[in-house]
Amino acid sequence: MINQQHLWDDEAAKHYDTPGEGMFAPEVLAPTVEVLSELAAGGPAVEFAIGTGRVAIPLLEAGVPVSGIELSHAMIARLREKVGEDRIPVVQGDMSEASIGGNFTLAFLVFNTIANLLTQDEQVRCFQNAARHLGPGGRFVIELWVPQLRSLPPGHGGTVEVSEPGYLLVDTYDVLRQHVVSHHVRFGPDISEGREARIGRTPHRYIWPSELDLMARLAGFELESRWADWDRREFTADSRSHVSVYRLTAFPGG
């Protein structure tokens, strides 16, 4: 099994940020920050798997106090190049266990990152940890992709998800364990250059929306809202991702 700490190493952190493009594009970040700011309702927020601060920094700039939990030393170091501990406190550790206090009004976990926890037990503990960080009525927001098993051809164990100049993404599935490994192949746009391709792999445990809702109930949450994206479009059977908002209804310990 791939060690997540080793996966998000210095090399990954160095190339993680893509300012103004991809998941760092303004049209991606602006609605994310808008929704999270509204859900924080004037209170402090904690981000699980804060990474290099892609969402936390603009959320702080929007006036929301933000703290974080992050497993990777390298990702925290990259974050620290941009903002100090005094502005965004971060605890290094596993988001299913580590603590940075309590009584937050909002906890959030974006960009499919709960799937980095590779067992159902770890994912349930992540919900329980979110509950411990929140005050009564606090919200836990998760952004997650919907497993695309309908696109898996019979007898085949993988699908091509992205094919574009210089980049190929292939997902391979283990449907018994609900595991998928994303194979990221990067190469020169001109294949005649003869340069070797660089291959990176990221493992995930995919979660169906109904399973996610049950994990939430086990931790004392109830589903408040679910949208297809941060623009709050309707979630349908054809949606490829969702943003789910859970409200804490049973306070941990009583």
- Examine the pLDDT at 5 and tell me if it is beyond 60: no
CB 33 within 8 A of CB 55: yes
* Each residue's pLDDT tens digit, 181-228: 999 888 875 555 556 788 888 999 999 999 999 999 999 999 999 999
Picking from 41, 88, 97, the residue whose alpha carbon sits closest to that of residue 68 is: 88
Instruction: Tell me the H-state helices in 165-239.
Output: 209-218
Query: What is the distance between the alpha carbons of residues 12 and 14, in angstroms, rounded to a whole number?
Result: 5
CB-based contacts of 142, cutoff 8 Å, min separation 6: 108, 109, 110, 114, 212, 243, 244, 246
Provide the residue ranges of all domains of the chain, joining segments of one domain with +. 4-146+207-248, 149-205
What pLDDT does 191 receive? 52
Picking from 168, 167, 178, 240, the residue whose alpha carbon sits closest to that of residue 211 is: 178
Query: What is the distance between the alpha carbons of residues 110 and 142, in angstroms, rounded to a whole number?
Result: 6
160 falls in which pLDDT band (50, 70, 90)? confident
Which string of DSSP letters, residue by residue, matches 43-112? S-EEEES-TTSTTHHHHHHTT--EEEEES-HHHHHHHHTTS-TTTS-EEES-TTT----S-EEEEEE-TT
Tell me the two tokens of residue 250.
């049973």
- Supply the mean pLDDT for the chain: 90
Picking from 131, 100, 97, 132, the residue whose alpha carbon sits closest to that of residue 117 is: 97
Fill in the amino acid letter for 107: A
What pLDDT does 137 receive? 95
- Examine the pLDDT at 8 and tell me if it is beyond 70: no
CB atoms within 10 A of CB 183: 16
The CATH number of domain 4-146+207-248 is 3.20.20.70: no
